[in-house]
Structure 1
Protein backbone atom coordinates (compact mmCIF):
# COMPACT_ATOMS: atom_id res chain seq x y z
CA UNK A 1 0.00 0.00 0.00
CA UNK A 2 1.53 3.29 -1.14
CA UNK A 3 0.43 6.60 0.36
CA UNK A 4 0.32 9.58 -2.03
CA UNK A 5 0.23 12.79 0.03
CA UNK A 6 -1.12 15.98 -1.54
CA UNK A 7 -0.16 19.59 -0.95
CA UNK A 8 -2.95 20.01 1.61
CA UNK A 9 -1.93 17.02 3.73
CA UNK A 10 -4.73 14.77 2.48
CA UNK A 11 -3.73 11.61 0.69
CA UNK A 12 -4.68 8.91 -1.77
CA UNK A 13 -3.65 5.26 -1.46
CA UNK A 14 -2.31 3.01 -4.20
CA UNK A 15 -2.90 -0.75 -3.81
CA UNK A 16 -0.87 -3.44 -5.56
CA UNK A 17 -3.63 -5.81 -6.73
CA UNK A 18 -1.26 -8.30 -8.32
CA UNK A 19 -0.60 -9.72 -11.72
CA UNK A 20 2.23 -9.60 -14.24
CA UNK A 21 2.79 -7.47 -17.30
CA UNK A 22 2.28 -3.82 -18.09
CA UNK A 23 1.05 -1.71 -15.14
CA UNK A 24 -2.67 -0.93 -15.27
CA UNK A 25 -4.12 1.80 -13.06
CA UNK A 26 -7.72 1.30 -11.88
CA UNK A 27 -9.73 4.26 -10.54
CA UNK A 28 -13.13 4.25 -8.84
CA UNK A 29 -16.37 6.20 -8.68
CA UNK A 30 -17.69 8.53 -6.00
CA UNK A 31 -18.13 6.82 -2.59
CA UNK A 32 -16.46 3.60 -3.84
CA UNK A 33 -12.82 2.44 -3.67
CA UNK A 34 -10.36 0.09 -5.35
CA UNK A 35 -12.28 -2.88 -3.96
CA UNK A 36 -14.96 -2.29 -6.60
CA UNK A 37 -12.61 -3.97 -9.13
CA UNK A 38 -12.31 -7.19 -7.10
CA UNK A 39 -14.10 -9.42 -9.63
CA UNK A 40 -12.47 -7.74 -12.64
CA UNK A 41 -8.84 -8.01 -11.54
CA UNK A 42 -8.57 -11.85 -11.49
CA UNK A 43 -9.34 -11.86 -15.22
CA UNK A 44 -6.60 -9.30 -15.93
CA UNK A 45 -3.71 -10.55 -13.81
CA UNK A 46 -2.13 -12.81 -16.44
CA UNK A 47 -1.63 -9.81 -18.74
CA UNK A 48 -1.36 -6.77 -16.47
CA UNK A 49 0.07 -5.74 -13.11
CA UNK A 50 -3.04 -4.19 -11.57
CA UNK A 51 -2.92 -1.17 -9.28
CA UNK A 52 -6.02 0.22 -7.58
CA UNK A 53 -6.20 3.83 -6.45
CA UNK A 54 -8.27 5.00 -3.48
CA UNK A 55 -9.01 8.71 -3.84
CA UNK A 56 -8.84 10.94 -0.78
CA UNK A 57 -11.71 10.27 1.61
CA UNK A 58 -12.32 6.79 0.18
CA UNK A 59 -11.27 3.27 1.13
CA UNK A 60 -7.91 3.20 2.88
CA UNK A 61 -7.44 6.95 2.31
CA UNK A 62 -9.43 8.19 5.27
CA UNK A 63 -9.75 12.00 5.47
CA UNK A 64 -7.38 13.90 7.72
CA UNK A 65 -9.58 16.98 8.12
CA UNK A 66 -13.33 17.52 8.44
CA UNK A 67 -13.19 20.14 5.68
CA UNK A 68 -11.15 18.01 3.27
CA UNK A 69 -11.10 19.56 -0.20
CA UNK A 70 -12.99 17.58 -2.84
CA UNK A 71 -12.38 19.93 -5.76
CA UNK A 72 -11.96 17.88 -8.93
CA UNK A 73 -8.40 19.14 -9.39
CA UNK A 74 -7.45 17.22 -6.24
CA UNK A 75 -8.48 13.89 -7.79
CA UNK A 76 -6.64 14.76 -10.99
CA UNK A 77 -3.48 15.44 -8.97
CA UNK A 78 -3.84 12.06 -7.28
CA UNK A 79 -4.22 10.25 -10.59
CA UNK A 80 -1.10 11.95 -11.91
CA UNK A 81 0.82 11.23 -8.69
CA UNK A 82 0.12 7.51 -9.10
CA UNK A 83 2.32 7.38 -12.20
CA UNK A 84 5.58 7.69 -10.25
CA UNK A 85 5.32 4.46 -8.21
CA UNK A 86 4.19 2.62 -11.35
CA UNK A 87 7.35 3.48 -13.25
CA UNK A 88 6.39 6.80 -14.78
CA UNK A 89 4.34 7.74 -17.82
CA UNK A 90 2.75 6.79 -20.10
CA UNK A 91 0.34 4.33 -18.47
CA UNK A 92 -2.65 2.21 -19.26
CA UNK A 93 -5.69 3.02 -17.14
CA UNK A 94 -9.31 2.05 -16.57
CA UNK A 95 -11.71 4.21 -14.60
CA UNK A 96 -15.29 4.28 -13.40
CA UNK A 97 -17.45 7.43 -13.16
CA UNK A 98 -15.48 10.00 -11.09
CA UNK A 99 -12.37 7.92 -11.70
CA UNK A 100 -12.95 7.95 -15.45
CA UNK A 101 -13.47 11.69 -15.66
CA UNK A 102 -10.38 12.24 -13.50
CA UNK A 103 -8.32 10.24 -15.99
CA UNK A 104 -9.58 12.36 -18.88
CA UNK A 105 -8.85 15.59 -17.01
CA UNK A 106 -5.40 14.28 -16.13
CA UNK A 107 -4.64 13.63 -19.80
CA UNK A 108 -5.82 17.15 -20.66
CA UNK A 109 -3.63 18.61 -17.91
CA UNK A 110 -0.60 16.53 -18.83
CA UNK A 111 -0.84 15.22 -22.41
CA UNK A 112 0.85 11.90 -23.02
CA UNK A 113 0.16 10.52 -19.56
CA UNK A 114 -1.67 7.49 -21.02
CA UNK A 115 -1.17 5.14 -23.94
CA UNK A 116 -4.73 3.84 -23.60
CA UNK A 117 -7.87 4.51 -21.55
CA UNK A 118 -10.94 2.42 -20.77
CA UNK A 119 -13.67 4.48 -19.12
CA UNK A 120 -17.05 3.38 -17.75
CA UNK A 121 -19.54 6.27 -17.75
CA UNK A 122 -17.07 9.07 -17.01
CA UNK A 123 -18.89 12.06 -15.57
CA UNK A 124 -17.98 15.13 -17.61
CA UNK A 125 -20.90 17.33 -18.58
CA UNK A 126 -20.88 20.01 -21.30
CA UNK A 127 -21.35 23.69 -20.35
CA UNK A 128 -24.94 24.58 -19.54
CA UNK A 129 -25.75 21.17 -18.10
CA UNK A 130 -27.52 21.23 -14.74
CA UNK A 131 -25.20 20.43 -11.87
CA UNK A 132 -26.46 18.68 -8.73
CA UNK A 133 -27.22 21.27 -6.05
CA UNK A 134 -27.91 20.78 -2.35
CA UNK A 135 -31.54 19.83 -2.98
CA UNK A 136 -30.80 17.29 -5.72
CA UNK A 137 -32.11 13.77 -4.85
CA UNK A 138 -28.63 12.23 -5.22
CA UNK A 139 -27.12 14.80 -2.88
CA UNK A 140 -29.89 14.43 -0.33
CA UNK A 141 -29.69 10.63 -0.46
CA UNK A 142 -25.92 10.80 0.09
CA UNK A 143 -26.27 12.96 3.16
CA UNK A 144 -28.85 10.55 4.62
CA UNK A 145 -26.72 7.49 3.94
CA UNK A 146 -26.04 5.31 6.94
CA UNK A 147 -22.33 5.07 7.71
CA UNK A 148 -22.21 3.20 11.06
CA UNK A 149 -22.86 -0.55 11.40
CA UNK A 150 -22.52 -3.08 14.20
CA UNK A 151 -20.19 -5.21 12.08
CA UNK A 152 -18.83 -5.69 8.59
CA UNK A 153 -21.29 -8.54 8.13
CA UNK A 154 -24.22 -6.30 9.02
CA UNK A 155 -23.01 -3.67 6.55
CA UNK A 156 -22.66 -6.31 3.83
CA UNK A 157 -26.15 -7.75 4.39
CA UNK A 158 -27.68 -4.30 4.28
CA UNK A 159 -25.83 -3.25 1.12
CA UNK A 160 -26.67 -6.38 -0.89
CA UNK A 161 -30.33 -6.19 0.11
CA UNK A 162 -31.20 -3.24 -2.12
CA UNK A 163 -30.09 -1.45 -5.31
CA UNK A 164 -27.62 -0.64 -6.62
CA UNK A 165 -25.53 -3.22 -4.76
CA UNK A 166 -28.17 -5.94 -4.92
CA UNK A 167 -27.41 -6.16 -8.64
CA UNK A 168 -23.65 -6.49 -8.08
CA UNK A 169 -21.49 -9.56 -7.63
CA UNK A 170 -21.31 -10.39 -3.90
CA UNK A 171 -17.51 -10.66 -3.99
CA UNK A 172 -17.22 -7.12 -5.34
CA UNK A 173 -19.53 -5.70 -2.67
CA UNK A 174 -17.65 -7.52 0.06
CA UNK A 175 -14.27 -6.28 -1.20
CA UNK A 176 -15.57 -2.71 -1.42
CA UNK A 177 -16.75 -2.86 2.20
CA UNK A 178 -13.62 -4.58 3.51
CA UNK A 179 -11.53 -1.76 2.08
CA UNK A 180 -14.09 0.94 2.76
CA UNK A 181 -14.77 0.46 6.48
CA UNK A 182 -12.74 0.77 9.64
CA UNK A 183 -13.38 -0.26 13.27
CA UNK A 184 -14.65 2.28 15.77
CA UNK A 185 -13.87 2.51 19.49
CA UNK A 186 -17.13 0.76 20.40
CA UNK A 187 -16.34 -2.30 18.29
CA UNK A 188 -18.59 -1.31 15.39
CA UNK A 189 -17.50 -0.26 11.89
CA UNK A 190 -17.79 2.99 9.97
CA UNK A 191 -17.65 3.73 6.25
CA UNK A 192 -14.48 5.58 5.24
CA UNK A 193 -16.38 7.72 2.76
CA UNK A 194 -19.00 9.72 4.66
CA UNK A 195 -22.29 10.80 3.17
CA UNK A 196 -21.10 14.39 3.43
CA UNK A 197 -17.99 13.65 1.37
CA UNK A 198 -20.04 11.88 -1.28
CA UNK A 199 -22.55 14.76 -1.42
CA UNK A 200 -19.88 17.44 -1.68
CA UNK A 201 -18.23 15.61 -4.56
CA UNK A 202 -21.54 15.62 -6.45
CA UNK A 203 -21.95 19.34 -5.85
CA UNK A 204 -18.42 20.14 -7.05
CA UNK A 205 -19.05 18.54 -10.44
CA UNK A 206 -17.68 20.56 -13.32
CA UNK A 207 -18.43 21.09 -16.99
CA UNK A 208 -16.04 21.12 -19.92
CA UNK A 209 -16.15 22.11 -23.57
CA UNK A 210 -16.14 18.81 -25.43
CA UNK A 211 -14.04 20.32 -28.20
CA UNK A 212 -11.13 20.13 -25.75
CA UNK A 213 -11.47 16.35 -25.64
CA UNK A 214 -10.40 16.19 -29.27
CA UNK A 215 -6.83 16.86 -28.15
CA UNK A 216 -6.78 13.52 -26.31
CA UNK A 217 -5.20 11.24 -28.88
CA UNK A 218 -4.60 8.03 -26.95
CA UNK A 219 -7.05 5.25 -27.93
CA UNK A 220 -10.00 5.31 -25.53
CA UNK A 221 -13.09 3.18 -25.03
CA UNK A 222 -16.03 4.89 -23.36
CA UNK A 223 -18.35 2.21 -22.01
CA UNK A 224 -21.89 2.74 -20.78
CA UNK A 225 -24.72 0.78 -19.29
CA UNK A 226 -28.40 0.92 -20.11
CA UNK A 227 -30.32 4.15 -19.62
CA UNK A 228 -32.72 4.37 -16.70
CA UNK A 229 -30.81 1.82 -14.64
CA UNK A 230 -30.38 4.26 -11.75
CA UNK A 231 -32.04 7.36 -10.39
CA UNK A 232 -29.67 9.50 -12.43
CA UNK A 233 -29.68 8.61 -16.14
CA UNK A 234 -27.20 11.35 -17.05
CA UNK A 235 -24.03 9.13 -16.91
CA UNK A 236 -25.05 6.75 -19.73
CA UNK A 237 -26.34 9.63 -21.85
CA UNK A 238 -22.99 11.42 -21.68
CA UNK A 239 -20.98 8.42 -22.88
CA UNK A 240 -21.65 8.71 -26.62
CA UNK A 241 -20.94 12.43 -26.97
CA UNK A 242 -17.74 12.02 -24.95
CA UNK A 243 -16.62 9.09 -27.12
CA UNK A 244 -17.36 11.07 -30.28
CA UNK A 245 -15.49 14.12 -29.03
CA UNK A 246 -12.29 12.25 -28.18
CA UNK A 247 -9.47 12.24 -30.69
CA UNK A 248 -9.52 8.44 -30.85
CA UNK A 249 -12.60 7.33 -28.97
CA UNK A 250 -15.02 4.43 -29.34
CA UNK A 251 -18.32 3.72 -27.58
CA UNK A 252 -19.13 0.32 -26.10
CA UNK A 253 -22.59 -0.43 -24.71
CA UNK A 254 -23.45 -2.91 -21.95
CA UNK A 255 -27.21 -2.57 -22.13
CA UNK A 256 -27.79 -5.10 -19.33
CA UNK A 257 -25.70 -3.18 -16.80
CA UNK A 258 -26.33 -0.10 -14.68
CA UNK A 259 -23.94 2.60 -13.53
CA UNK A 260 -22.12 0.07 -11.32
CA UNK A 261 -21.35 -2.14 -14.32
CA UNK A 262 -17.79 -3.06 -13.28
CA UNK A 263 -19.21 -4.56 -10.09
CA UNK A 264 -21.95 -6.48 -11.90
CA UNK A 265 -19.94 -8.81 -14.14
CA UNK A 266 -16.21 -8.70 -13.62
CA UNK A 267 -15.44 -11.25 -16.35
CA UNK A 268 -17.35 -9.31 -19.03
CA UNK A 269 -15.77 -6.00 -18.05
CA UNK A 270 -12.30 -7.58 -18.02
CA UNK A 271 -12.80 -8.96 -21.54
CA UNK A 272 -13.62 -5.48 -22.79
CA UNK A 273 -10.62 -3.94 -21.04
CA UNK A 274 -8.27 -6.61 -22.38
CA UNK A 275 -9.62 -6.38 -25.90
CA UNK A 276 -8.88 -2.67 -25.94
CA UNK A 277 -5.63 -2.40 -23.98
CA UNK A 278 -3.69 -5.57 -24.81
CA UNK A 279 -2.99 -4.53 -28.44
CA UNK A 280 -1.60 -1.24 -27.12
CA UNK A 281 0.96 -3.11 -25.01
CA UNK A 282 2.23 -4.98 -28.03
CA UNK A 283 2.28 -1.88 -30.27
Structure 2
Protein backbone atom coordinates (compact mmCIF):
# COMPACT_ATOMS: atom_id res chain seq x y z
CA UNK A 1 0.00 0.00 0.00
CA UNK A 2 1.36 3.49 -0.83
CA UNK A 3 2.28 5.70 2.10
CA UNK A 4 -0.76 7.79 3.09
CA UNK A 5 -0.70 11.48 3.92
CA UNK A 6 -3.12 12.51 6.67
CA UNK A 7 -4.51 16.05 6.66
CA UNK A 8 -4.78 17.66 10.10
CA UNK A 9 -5.89 21.19 9.33
CA UNK A 10 -4.76 24.44 7.77
CA UNK A 11 -4.91 25.75 4.22
CA UNK A 12 -2.87 23.85 1.65
CA UNK A 13 -1.16 27.07 0.55
CA UNK A 14 0.36 27.61 4.00
CA UNK A 15 3.83 26.40 5.04
CA UNK A 16 3.99 22.73 6.00
CA UNK A 17 3.88 21.45 9.57
CA UNK A 18 4.59 17.74 9.80
CA UNK A 19 3.70 15.64 12.83
CA UNK A 20 5.59 12.41 13.54
CA UNK A 21 3.54 10.73 16.23
CA UNK A 22 4.13 8.41 19.18
CA UNK A 23 3.91 4.63 19.04
CA UNK A 24 0.35 3.38 19.44
CA UNK A 25 -1.42 6.70 18.95
CA UNK A 26 -3.27 8.26 16.04
CA UNK A 27 -2.63 11.76 14.69
CA UNK A 28 -6.10 13.05 15.56
CA UNK A 29 -5.23 12.91 19.27
CA UNK A 30 -2.87 15.81 18.57
CA UNK A 31 -5.60 18.07 17.16
CA UNK A 32 -6.00 20.12 20.37
CA UNK A 33 -2.29 20.98 20.05
CA UNK A 34 -2.20 21.44 16.28
CA UNK A 35 -5.20 23.80 16.24
CA UNK A 36 -2.92 26.42 17.74
CA UNK A 37 -0.87 26.36 14.52
CA UNK A 38 -3.27 25.74 11.65
CA UNK A 39 -3.94 29.42 11.02
CA UNK A 40 -0.29 29.68 9.96
CA UNK A 41 0.59 26.14 8.84
CA UNK A 42 -0.80 23.26 6.82
CA UNK A 43 -0.61 20.36 9.29
CA UNK A 44 0.11 16.90 7.88
CA UNK A 45 1.19 13.46 9.06
CA UNK A 46 3.09 10.80 7.16
CA UNK A 47 2.20 7.94 9.49
CA UNK A 48 4.31 4.88 10.30
CA UNK A 49 3.57 1.60 8.54
CA UNK A 50 1.31 0.54 11.43
CA UNK A 51 -1.29 2.90 9.92
CA UNK A 52 -0.74 2.08 6.24
CA UNK A 53 -3.13 -0.85 6.00
CA UNK A 54 -3.33 -4.53 6.89
CA UNK A 55 0.31 -5.46 6.32
CA UNK A 56 1.80 -7.28 9.35
CA UNK A 57 5.10 -6.16 10.83
CA UNK A 58 8.24 -7.78 9.40
CA UNK A 59 10.15 -10.49 11.29
CA UNK A 60 12.32 -9.19 14.10
CA UNK A 61 16.08 -9.19 13.54
CA UNK A 62 18.84 -7.42 15.50
CA UNK A 63 19.41 -5.16 12.48
CA UNK A 64 15.90 -3.67 12.51
CA UNK A 65 15.38 -0.36 14.29
CA UNK A 66 13.64 2.98 13.98
CA UNK A 67 15.87 4.07 11.10
CA UNK A 68 13.13 2.36 9.06
CA UNK A 69 10.79 5.13 10.23
CA UNK A 70 13.30 7.68 9.01
CA UNK A 71 13.54 5.98 5.62
CA UNK A 72 9.75 6.18 5.23
CA UNK A 73 9.58 9.76 6.49
CA UNK A 74 12.17 10.98 4.00
CA UNK A 75 10.57 8.97 1.18
CA UNK A 76 7.20 10.54 1.99
CA UNK A 77 8.65 14.04 2.08
CA UNK A 78 10.14 13.43 -1.37
CA UNK A 79 7.06 11.71 -2.82
CA UNK A 80 4.68 14.45 -1.68
CA UNK A 81 7.08 17.30 -2.47
CA UNK A 82 7.14 18.75 1.05
CA UNK A 83 9.56 21.65 1.56
CA UNK A 84 10.67 23.96 4.38
CA UNK A 85 8.96 21.69 6.88
CA UNK A 86 8.29 22.69 10.46
CA UNK A 87 8.65 19.24 12.00
CA UNK A 88 7.07 18.11 15.26
CA UNK A 89 8.19 14.69 16.48
CA UNK A 90 6.77 13.03 19.58
CA UNK A 91 8.30 10.02 21.33
CA UNK A 92 9.68 7.64 18.68
CA UNK A 93 8.46 10.13 16.08
CA UNK A 94 10.99 12.50 17.61
CA UNK A 95 13.78 10.03 16.96
CA UNK A 96 12.63 9.49 13.37
CA UNK A 97 12.56 13.26 12.87
CA UNK A 98 15.96 13.79 14.49
CA UNK A 99 17.57 11.16 12.27
CA UNK A 100 15.85 12.56 9.17
CA UNK A 101 17.21 16.03 9.94
CA UNK A 102 20.72 14.67 10.38
CA UNK A 103 20.50 12.78 7.11
CA UNK A 104 18.76 15.39 4.91
CA UNK A 105 18.53 18.73 6.76
CA UNK A 106 17.62 20.64 3.60
CA UNK A 107 13.96 19.62 3.96
CA UNK A 108 13.47 21.28 7.33
CA UNK A 109 12.76 24.82 8.49
CA UNK A 110 12.70 24.11 12.23
CA UNK A 111 12.41 21.02 14.41
CA UNK A 112 10.52 20.43 17.66
CA UNK A 113 11.14 17.20 19.56
CA UNK A 114 8.44 16.38 22.11
CA UNK A 115 9.71 14.02 24.81
CA UNK A 116 11.81 12.06 22.31
CA UNK A 117 12.53 8.44 23.19
CA UNK A 118 16.05 9.02 24.44
CA UNK A 119 16.65 6.55 27.23
CA UNK A 120 19.56 6.83 29.63
CA UNK A 121 22.83 5.22 28.62
CA UNK A 122 22.43 2.16 30.85
CA UNK A 123 18.82 1.34 29.80
CA UNK A 124 19.86 1.84 26.19
CA UNK A 125 22.71 -0.64 26.60
CA UNK A 126 20.32 -3.13 28.21
CA UNK A 127 17.89 -2.81 25.31
CA UNK A 128 20.69 -3.22 22.77
CA UNK A 129 21.85 -6.42 24.49
CA UNK A 130 18.30 -7.78 24.61
CA UNK A 131 17.84 -7.09 20.89
CA UNK A 132 21.14 -8.73 20.04
CA UNK A 133 20.44 -11.79 22.20
CA UNK A 134 16.80 -12.24 21.18
CA UNK A 135 15.41 -11.42 24.64
CA UNK A 136 13.43 -8.31 23.73
CA UNK A 137 10.10 -10.02 24.50
CA UNK A 138 11.06 -9.88 28.18
CA UNK A 139 10.60 -6.11 28.34
CA UNK A 140 7.38 -4.87 29.98
CA UNK A 141 6.38 -2.43 27.22
CA UNK A 142 6.64 -5.17 24.61
CA UNK A 143 4.65 -7.58 26.76
CA UNK A 144 2.00 -4.96 27.52
CA UNK A 145 1.55 -4.21 23.81
CA UNK A 146 1.23 -7.91 23.02
CA UNK A 147 -1.54 -8.24 25.63
CA UNK A 148 -3.39 -5.06 24.71
CA UNK A 149 -7.13 -5.34 24.30
CA UNK A 150 -7.97 -4.55 20.69
CA UNK A 151 -11.73 -5.20 20.35
CA UNK A 152 -14.58 -2.96 21.55
CA UNK A 153 -18.34 -3.06 21.07
CA UNK A 154 -18.57 0.64 20.18
CA UNK A 155 -16.80 4.00 20.27
CA UNK A 156 -18.59 4.71 23.54
CA UNK A 157 -17.31 1.52 25.15
CA UNK A 158 -13.79 2.36 23.98
CA UNK A 159 -14.15 5.88 25.38
CA UNK A 160 -15.30 4.62 28.79
CA UNK A 161 -12.46 2.09 28.84
CA UNK A 162 -9.81 4.68 27.97
CA UNK A 163 -11.29 7.38 30.20
CA UNK A 164 -10.87 5.13 33.22
CA UNK A 165 -7.21 4.28 32.60
CA UNK A 166 -4.43 6.05 34.50
CA UNK A 167 -2.52 6.60 31.23
CA UNK A 168 -5.21 9.09 30.17
CA UNK A 169 -5.87 10.63 33.59
CA UNK A 170 -4.57 14.08 32.55
CA UNK A 171 -6.18 14.04 29.10
CA UNK A 172 -9.24 16.17 28.44
CA UNK A 173 -12.50 14.43 27.59
CA UNK A 174 -12.10 15.74 24.03
CA UNK A 175 -8.67 14.14 23.63
CA UNK A 176 -9.85 10.79 25.00
CA UNK A 177 -12.87 10.89 22.71
CA UNK A 178 -10.64 11.61 19.70
CA UNK A 179 -8.61 8.55 20.62
CA UNK A 180 -11.74 6.43 21.02
CA UNK A 181 -13.14 7.62 17.68
CA UNK A 182 -10.02 7.61 15.51
CA UNK A 183 -7.93 5.14 17.49
CA UNK A 184 -10.52 2.45 16.76
CA UNK A 185 -11.84 1.38 13.36
CA UNK A 186 -15.31 0.06 12.53
CA UNK A 187 -15.62 -3.58 11.49
CA UNK A 188 -18.33 -5.17 9.33
CA UNK A 189 -20.18 -6.48 12.38
CA UNK A 190 -20.28 -3.05 14.02
CA UNK A 191 -17.52 -3.68 16.54
CA UNK A 192 -14.36 -1.55 16.72
CA UNK A 193 -10.74 -2.68 16.65
CA UNK A 194 -7.65 -0.67 17.49
CA UNK A 195 -6.53 1.31 14.45
CA UNK A 196 -2.90 0.82 15.49
CA UNK A 197 -2.56 -2.98 15.71
CA UNK A 198 -0.97 -4.24 18.95
CA UNK A 199 1.47 -6.39 17.00
CA UNK A 200 2.85 -3.25 15.35
CA UNK A 201 3.05 -1.46 18.70
CA UNK A 202 5.04 -4.40 20.11
CA UNK A 203 7.26 -4.43 17.01
CA UNK A 204 8.15 -0.77 17.42
CA UNK A 205 8.91 -1.17 21.12
CA UNK A 206 11.11 -4.13 20.19
CA UNK A 207 13.09 -2.16 17.61
CA UNK A 208 14.09 0.81 19.79
CA UNK A 209 16.83 2.89 18.17
CA UNK A 210 19.77 2.09 20.45
CA UNK A 211 22.61 4.04 18.68
CA UNK A 212 20.99 7.33 19.74
CA UNK A 213 23.89 8.41 21.98
CA UNK A 214 26.21 8.14 18.98
CA UNK A 215 23.94 10.44 16.97
CA UNK A 216 23.21 13.16 19.53
CA UNK A 217 26.64 14.89 19.30
CA UNK A 218 26.06 15.33 15.55
CA UNK A 219 23.22 17.75 16.35
CA UNK A 220 25.87 20.31 17.32
CA UNK A 221 26.42 20.88 13.59
CA UNK A 222 22.78 20.74 12.51
CA UNK A 223 22.02 23.80 10.32
CA UNK A 224 18.37 23.83 11.44
CA UNK A 225 17.02 25.34 14.69
CA UNK A 226 15.84 22.71 17.17
CA UNK A 227 13.73 22.77 20.31
CA UNK A 228 13.54 19.80 22.68
CA UNK A 229 10.68 19.73 25.20
CA UNK A 230 10.52 17.18 27.98
CA UNK A 231 7.69 16.28 30.31
CA UNK A 232 8.66 17.11 33.87
CA UNK A 233 7.14 13.81 35.04
CA UNK A 234 8.14 11.73 32.00
CA UNK A 235 9.02 8.08 32.49
CA UNK A 236 10.61 7.96 29.03
CA UNK A 237 12.83 11.00 28.47
CA UNK A 238 13.43 11.16 32.21
CA UNK A 239 14.70 14.34 33.92
CA UNK A 240 18.23 13.00 34.48
CA UNK A 241 18.56 12.06 30.81
CA UNK A 242 17.09 15.39 29.71
CA UNK A 243 19.67 17.16 31.90
CA UNK A 244 22.50 15.15 30.32
CA UNK A 245 21.26 16.03 26.82
CA UNK A 246 21.07 19.71 27.83
CA UNK A 247 24.70 19.55 28.91
CA UNK A 248 25.71 17.77 25.72
CA UNK A 249 23.79 20.18 23.45
CA UNK A 250 23.83 23.62 25.11
CA UNK A 251 23.16 25.48 21.85
CA UNK A 252 19.82 23.73 21.33
CA UNK A 253 16.83 25.19 23.15
CA UNK A 254 15.42 22.97 25.90
CA UNK A 255 12.10 23.45 27.70
CA UNK A 256 10.02 21.50 30.22
CA UNK A 257 6.27 21.04 30.59
CA UNK A 258 6.09 20.73 34.37
CA UNK A 259 3.59 18.43 36.01
CA UNK A 260 3.04 16.30 32.92
CA UNK A 261 4.46 13.03 31.66
CA UNK A 262 5.44 11.53 28.33
CA UNK A 263 2.08 12.32 26.73
CA UNK A 264 2.09 16.06 27.46
CA UNK A 265 1.26 16.94 23.81
CA UNK A 266 -2.17 15.44 24.52
CA UNK A 267 -2.48 16.24 28.24
CA UNK A 268 -1.17 19.83 28.08
CA UNK A 269 -1.78 21.02 24.50
CA UNK A 270 -2.14 24.70 25.39
CA UNK A 271 1.05 24.88 27.45
CA UNK A 272 2.91 22.89 24.80
CA UNK A 273 1.70 25.20 22.03
CA UNK A 274 2.74 28.26 24.02
CA UNK A 275 6.23 26.85 24.59
CA UNK A 276 6.61 26.06 20.89
CA UNK A 277 5.19 29.35 19.62
CA UNK A 278 7.38 31.52 21.85
CA UNK A 279 10.42 29.68 20.48
CA UNK A 280 9.22 29.94 16.87
CA UNK A 281 8.75 33.67 17.34
CA UNK A 282 12.44 33.89 18.22
CA UNK A 283 14.01 31.61 15.63
CA UNK A 284 11.78 32.29 12.61
CA UNK A 285 11.28 36.03 13.01
**Corresponding residue for residue 172 of structure 2:** 169
Query: How big is the shift at 1:182?
Result: 1.4
Match of 2:262 in 1: 259
Q: Which has the higher helix share?
A: 2
Change in Cα spacing, 1:250 to 1:214, as seen in structure 2 (3 Å) is same
Q: Note if 1:213 corresponds to 2:219.
A: yes
Q: Measured at CA, do residues 100 and 48 of structure 1 come closer, stay the same or move farther in structure 2, by a change above 3 Å? A: same
Query: In structure 2, do the counterparts of structure 1 residues 237 and 75 end up closer, same or farther at CA, with 3 Å as the change threshold?
Result: farther
Segment of structure 1 superposing worse, 95-104 or 122-131:
122-131
Supply the distance in 2 between the matched residues of 1:104 and 1:192 (Cα, whole angstroms): 26
Which of 109, 115, 129 does residue 109 from structure 2 map onto? Answer: 115
Change (3 A) 1:26 1:195: same
Shift of 1:170: 2.0
* Cα deviation, residue 14, structure 1: 1.9
User: What is the CA-CA distance between 1:126 and the residue it aligns to?
Assistant: 6.6
Tell me which of 269, 272, 276 is aligned to 2:272.
269
Q: Please say if 1:27 is aligned against 2:20.
A: yes
In the superposition, the TM-score normalised over structure 2's length comes to: 0.84
Residues 240-249 or 20-29, more deviating = 240-249
CA apart distance, 1:114 = 1.6
SS of the aligned residue for 1:18 comes to: coil
Number of residue pairs aligned between Structure 1 and Structure 2: 268
Structure 1 runs not aligned, ≥5 long: 6-10
Report SS of the residue matched to 1:251.
strand
Higher strand fraction (1 or 2): 1
Q: 3-state SS of the aligned residue for 1:272?
A: helix
8 Å CA contact 1:147, 1:191 repeated in 2: yes
CA contact (8 A) 2:66 2:207 kept: yes
The one of 31, 37, 42 aligned to 1:44 = 37
SS in 2 for 1:167: coil
Structure 1 CA distance for aligned equivalents of residues 268 and 250 of structure 2: 29
Q: Whole-Å Cα distance in 2 between the matches of residues 102 and 157 of structure 1?
A: 32
Partner of 1:241: 244
CA shift at 1:137, angstroms?
A: 1.6
